[in-house]
C-alpha cells in the first residue's frame, strides 16, 4: 500500500473537527493519507488477521468488526504472517489479562521490525485495553498504529485507510464512547464458530459500577438493542441452521428496550431484592425478549450470559416452565458470600437474598444447574468473610465456578478508596479452597446423572483421540459420546439422547440412544 509522507488533512468533505479530538476521543498523528470515507472499496483488498481475548462480548465484537471491514473491501486471512493489518481485540478485566495482550503486542512489534519496510503490517488494538490506555498505546508504549474503542468500530475502515501501512509513522485513534451505539443494523460474520451456536449481543455497556470493576469505564453507559432487530437476526440464524443462541450483555437481564412497545410481564422479585431493585418504568424487559426469542423456533436452545442476581424477576423463572428452549442451567455471579464484602463491592444484594433467589429458582426448577463467578481477596476480606463464601458455595452446590484473585484496576472506586490489603498468596490459597469446594459438590451432582439419558446438542468432533463426538447437555455439562453404529450420521446441530455411563466433575461420557 502507498504511503504519504506529508501531513495532510483529507480533502474528502470531512472537516478539521472530524480529525481532531472531539472530547479527546478521536484523532490522528503524523503523515496520514487522503481518503474518501464514503468510498465502498476503502480497503482495496488489504488483508487483516484478528485475534480475540477476553469475554464473549469481545468474540461477538470481532464478528461485527469482520462485517464492517469485509463490507468495505478488506479481507480476512488466517495466516498472521501474510496480513497487512494485525488486529488484537483486548481485555482489561485483570492485570494478568492485560499482560498477556501486551506481550502479544510486543511480539507483533518485533515481528514487524524484522520485516522489510514496505512489508510492515499496521498493528491495530481494539476493545477494552484500547479504551483504557487510549493514545498511550500509540505514543508512550509504541505498540500500535491504530487504536479503536468498543463503540467506534464503524470508524475502522477510515482509520485503517488513513494510516495505510505500518511504516509511514501515521497513527489514528477513535476511543469515543457512545450513549446509543448498539450496532443493531449490522450482521456479524461468524467465521470462527461451529455453525451450531451463535453469540448475539443484545445490550452494551454496564451501569452497575461494582467497585472492583473496570467494565463501566471501558464499555461505557448501558444501552439495549431494539427487540425487533434481535428477533430478526436470530430468525436469520435459525434459517441458516443454527440450533443455539447465547444472548450477550455485561448485565444481560437488565435489558430494557425503550425504543417502542410495553412490557407484557409482571415484575415481582425474590425477597430481599425488592428494596434495592428499581424495575424499568417503561419499555420491554429481558423477560419479554427471552419470550420472543423462544417463540422463534421450539428447536432453538436459548442461553444468556451474564445475568445479575438483582435483575431476576419471577416471570423470567416462570418462562423456564413455558419454554423448553431454555436449558436447565443459569450462570449466576455471586462474587462473595460475605455481606460486608458484597456491600463493599456494591453488588446490591446480601447472601440471604442470593440464597432466597436460588431457592426460588430451585423450587420452580428442582434440577437446575448453577454456575458462578467469585473474586477472592477483595479489599479487607478476612478469613471469616472467606469462610462465609465457602459455606455459601457448598450450600448452593454450584456445578462450576470461575474463581479470580482480586486485581486492582485503576480508576475504579476500590482503587481510589479501598486498600488492596490481602496478600497475593492468601488470594491464591482462598481461590484454591473455593475451587475444591465447588468441585466436591459438582462431582456428586454430576455423578447422579450416571444411568440417566441426557439431551445433548452436538457441536462436532471432540479433541479426544478416540474419535468421539462432543456437545452440551441441558445442564451445560460437556458430554462425550461415540457415534451410534446404527446411526453413523450424527451431525453437528443435531440433538441426541445420550445414555450416561460415566461422569467426572464437569463432564459426562455415554452412548447415544436415539434423537
Ligand atoms: N458482567 C459480568 C462479567 C464481568 S467480568 C458480571 O457482572 O457477571 C467477569 C468476572 O470477572 C466478574 O464476574 C468477576 O468475577 C471478575 N472480575 C471483574 N473485575 C475483577 C477484578 N478487578 N479482579 C478480579 N476479578 C474481577
Ligand atoms: Fe462489572 Fe459489575 Fe458490570 Fe459485571 S455488573 S460488568 S462486574 S460493573
Ligand atoms: Fe474484558 Fe472488556 Fe469483556 S474488560 S471481560 S473484554 S468487557
Query: Residue with the nearest Cα to atom 12 of ligand 1?
Result: 373
Give the whole-angstrom CA distance, residue 79 versus residue 47.
10
Give the pLDDT mean for 255-267.
81
Task: Name the closest-CA residue to atom 11, ligand 1.
Answer: 93
CA of 422 from ligand 1 middle (Å) equals: 18
What was the pLDDT predicted at 33?
Answer: 87
Looking at the structure, tell me whether residues 140 and 112 fall in a common domain.
yes
Q: Does 191 reside within a domain?
A: no
Cα 93 to middle of ligand 1, angstroms: 7
CA–CA separation, 23 and 67 (whole Å): 27
Residue minimizing CA distance to atom 1 of ligand 3: 91
pTM above 0.85, yes or no: yes
Specify whether 22 is located in the same domain as 132. Answer: yes
Mean pLDDT of the chain: 90
Residue 113: how many CB atoms within 10 A of its CB? 11
The atom of ligand 3 lying closest to the CA of 57 is 3
Confidence of residue 32 (pLDDT cuts 50, 70, 90): confident
Segment 200-208 shows an average pLDDT of: 95
Does residue 11 register a pLDDT over 60?
no
Distance CA 218, CA 250 (A): 12
Question: Quick check: CB of 206 below 6 Å from ligand 2?
Answer: yes
The neighbour count for residue 234, using CB atoms within 10 Å, is 22
Q: Is the CB of 471 under 6 A from ligand 3?
A: no
User: Region 314-325: what's the mean pLDDT?
Assistant: 93
185 found inside a domain: no
Atom of ligand 3 nearest to the CA of 53: 6
Ligand 1: residues whose CB is within 6 Å?
A: 93-94, 212-213, 215, 250-251, 306, 333, 335, 373, 375, 404, 406-407, 409
Three-state SS for 162-207 is HHCCCCCCCEEEECCCCCCCCCCCCCCCCCCCCCCEEEEECEECCC
Q: Across residues 438-452, what is the average pLDDT? A: 95
> Residue 190: inside a domain, yes or no?
no
DSSP string, 15-43: -HHHHS-STT-EEEESSPPP--TT-TTTT
| pLDDT confidence tier of residue 159, bands split at 50, 70 and 90 | very high
Separation of CA 127 and ligand 3 centre (Å): 8
**Ligand 2 contact, 342 CB (< 6 A):** no
pLDDT of residue 493: 93
Task: Judge whether 188 lies within some domain.
Answer: no
> How far, in Å, are 26, 106, 172 from residue 12 at the CA level?
17, 35, 17
The verdict on residue 492 lying in a domain is: yes
| pLDDT digits 0-9 by tens, 272-314 | 665 555 667 788 999 999 999 999 999 999 999 999 999 888 8
Q: Do 439 and 462 belong together in one domain?
A: no
Q: Is pLDDT at 139 greater than 70 in this prediction? A: yes
CA distances from 507 to 122, 442, 462, 466, 473 (A): 42, 10, 12, 16, 10
- Residue 428 is predicted with a pLDDT of 98
In the block, cell 435489558 appears at: 255
87 Cβ inside 6 Å of ligand 3: no
Query: Residue 483's pLDDT is what?
Result: 76
Q: What is the pLDDT of residue 13?
A: 39
Angle (nearest 5°) at CA 298 between 293 and 299? 105
Residue 435 gets which letter from DSSP? H
Evaluate if residue 18 carries a pLDDT over 50: no
For residues 436 and 493, state if they share a domain. Answer: no
Give the mean pLDDT of 108-126: 90
User: Of 418, 445, 472, which closes a domain?
Assistant: 445
3-class DSSP assignment, residue 280: coil
**Higher-confidence position of 265 and 49:** 49
What's the whole-number mean pLDDT along residues 412-438?
98
Which set of grid coordinates corresponds to residue 184?
Answer: 443493531
* Region 190-195 average pLDDT: 83
The answer to whether residues 364 and 479 belong to one domain is: no
| Domain final residue pick, 445, 473, 492 | 445
Same domain, 337 and 411: yes
C-alpha cell at 456: 445433548
Q: Which of 416, 445, 474 is the last residue of a domain?
A: 445
What is the percent of the chain with per-residue pLDDT over 70, rounded to a whole number? Answer: 92
The residue range of the domain holding 476 is 453-512
Does residue 457 share a domain with residue 415? no
Closest CA to 249 of 199, 289, 284, 203: 203
At residue 10, the pLDDT reads 40
Is 182 part of any domain?
no
Bigger pLDDT: 10 or 150?
150
- CATH number of the domain where residue 346 is located: 3.80.30.20
* CB atoms closer than 10 angstroms to residue 250: 21
Rounded CA-CA distance 37/243 in Å is 38
Cell of 432: 484454591
Indicate if 463 and 428 belong to the same structural domain.
no
Do 123 and 212 lie in a common domain?
no
**For ligand 2, is residue 345 a contact (CB within 6 Å)?**
no
Q: Which three cell numbers stand for residue 402?
A: 470461575
Find the Cα–Cα–Cα–Cα dihedral 348, 350, 354, 360, rounded to 10°. -100
- For residues 141 and 246, membership in a common domain is answered with no
| DSSP state string for 233-245 | HHHHHHHTT--EE
Vertex 482: Cα angle to 191 and 455 (nearest 5): 75
User: Distances in Å between the alpha carbon of 34 and those of 3, 120, 174?
Assistant: 10, 20, 17
Mean per-residue pLDDT, 501-513: 94
Cell numbers for 502, please give them.
460415566
Whether residue 314 sits in one domain with residue 277: yes
Q: How far apart are CA 8 and CA 28, in angstroms?
A: 10
Residue with cell 450424527: 490
The CATH number for 508's domain is 2.40.50
pLDDT band at 142 (very low <50, low <70, confident <90, very high): confident
Number of domains in the chain: 3
| CA-208 nearest atom, ligand 1 | 7
pLDDT confidence of 193, banded at 50, 70, 90?
Answer: confident
Instruction: Dump pLDDT digits (tens) for 233-247.
Output: 999 999 999 999 999
What CATH number is associated with residue 140? 3.40.50.12160
What pLDDT does 277 receive? 59
Assigned domain for 180 exists: no
What's the CA angle centered on 96, arms 93 and 102, to 5 degrees? 95
Within 8 A by CB and 6+ apart from 328, the residues are 320, 365, 367, 368, 369, 474, 475
Mean pLDDT (whole number) for 115-134: 93
Range with the lowest mean pLDDT among 16-20, 305-309, 368-372, 511-515?
A: 16-20
CA distance 364 to 4: 66
Q: What average pLDDT score do residues 38-54 get?
A: 93
Is there a domain that residue 288 lies in? yes
Q: Which three cell numbers stand for residue 215?
A: 467494565
| Top-confidence residue, 375 or 512 | 375
Same domain for 17 and 126, yes or no, is yes
Select from 215, 312, 374 the residue to mutate for testing ligand 2; criterion: most ligand atoms less than 8 Å from CB: 215
Residue 52, strand partner residues: 89
Q: Which atom of ligand 1 is nearest to the CA of 412?
A: 22
Amino acid at each position: 500500500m502507498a504511503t504519504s509522507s506529508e501531513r495532510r488533512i483529507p480533502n474528502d468533505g470531512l472537516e478539521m473537527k472530524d480529525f481532531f479530538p472531539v472530547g479527546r476521543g478521536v484523532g490522528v498523528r503524523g503523515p496520514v493519507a487522503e481518503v474518501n470515507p464514503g468510498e465502498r472499496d476503502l480497503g482495496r483488498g488489504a488483508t487483516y488477521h484478528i485475534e480475540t481475548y477476553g469475554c464473549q462480548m469481545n468474540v461477538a465484537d470481532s464478528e461485527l468488526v469482520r462485517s464492517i471491514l469485509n463490507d468495505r473491501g478488506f479481507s480476512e486471512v488466517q495466516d498472521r504472517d501474510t496480513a497487512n493489518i494485525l488486529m488484537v481485540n483486548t481485555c482489561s478485566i485483570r492485570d494478568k489479562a492485560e499482560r498477556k495482550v501486551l506481550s502479544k503486542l510486543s511480539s507483533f512489534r518485533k515481528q514487524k521490525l524484522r520485516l522489510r519496510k514496505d512489508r510492515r503490517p499496521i498493528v491495530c488494538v481494539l476493545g477494552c485495553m484500547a479504551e483504557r490506555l487510549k493514545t498511550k498505546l500509540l505514543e508512550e508504549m509504541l505498540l500500535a498504529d491504530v487504536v479503536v474503542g468498543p463503540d467506534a468500530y464503524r470508524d475502522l475502515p477510515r482509520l485503517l485507510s488513513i494510516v495505510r501501512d505500518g511504516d509511514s509513522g501515521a497513527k489514528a485513534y477513535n476511543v469515543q464512547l457512545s450513549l446509543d451505539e448498539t450496532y443493531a443494523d449490522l450482521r456479524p460474520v461468524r467465521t470462527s464458530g461451529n455453525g451450531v451456536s451463535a453469540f448475539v449481543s443484545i445490550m452494551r455497556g454496564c451501569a452497575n459500577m461494582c467497585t472492583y470493576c473496570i467494565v463501566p469505564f471501558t464499555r461505557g453507559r448501558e444501552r439495549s438493542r431494539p427487540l425487533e432487530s434481535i428477533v430478526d437476526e436470530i430468525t436469520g440464524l435459525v434459517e441458516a441452521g443454527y440450533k443455539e443462541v447465547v444472548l450477550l450483555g455485561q448485565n444481560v437481564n437488565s435489558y430494557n428496550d425503550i425504543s417502542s412497545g410495553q412490557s407484557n410481564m409482571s415484575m415481582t422479585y425474590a425477597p430481599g431484592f425488592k428494596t434495592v431493585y428499581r424495575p424499568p418504568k417503561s419499555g420491554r424487559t429481558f423477560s419479554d425478549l427471552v419470550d420472543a426469542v423462544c417463540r422463534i423456533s421450539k428447536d432453538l436452545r436459548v442461553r444468556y450470559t451474564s445475568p445479575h442476581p438483582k435483575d431476576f424477576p419471577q416471570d423470567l423463572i416462570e418462562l423456564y416452565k413455558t419454554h423448553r428452549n431454555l436449558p436447565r442451567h443459569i450462570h449466576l455471579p455471586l462474587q462473595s458470600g460475605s455481606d460486608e464484602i458484597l456491600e463493599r463491592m456494591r453488588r446490591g444484594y446480601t447472601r440471604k437474598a442470593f440464597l432466597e433467589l436460588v431457592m426460588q429458582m430451585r423450587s420452580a426448577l428442582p434440577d437446575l444447574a448453577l454456575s458462578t463467578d467469585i473474586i477472592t481477596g477483595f479489599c479487607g476480606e478476612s478469613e471469616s468473610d472467606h469462610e462465609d463464601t465457602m459455606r455459601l458455595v457448598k450450600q448452593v452446590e454450584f456445578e462450576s465456578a470461575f474463581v479470580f484473585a482480586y486485581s486492582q484496576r485503576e480508576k475504579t472506586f476500590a482503587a481510589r478508596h479501598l486498600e488492596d490489603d490481602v496478600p497475593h498468596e492468601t488470594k491464591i490459597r482462598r481461590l484454591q479452597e473455593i475451587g475444591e469446594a465447588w468441585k466436591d459438590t459438582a462431582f456428586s451432582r454430576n455423578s447422579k446423572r450416571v444411568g440417566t439419558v441426557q439431551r445433548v446438542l452436538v457441536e462436532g468432533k471432540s479433541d479426544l483421540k478416540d474419535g468421539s463426538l462432543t456437545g452440551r447437555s441441558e445442564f451445560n455439562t460437556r458430554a462425550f459420546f461415540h457415534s451410534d453404529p446404527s446411526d453413523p450420521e450424527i451431525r453437528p446441530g443435531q440433538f441426541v439422547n445420550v445414555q450416561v455411563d460415566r461422569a467426572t466433575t464437569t463432564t459426562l461420557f455415554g452412548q447415544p440412544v436415539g434423537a
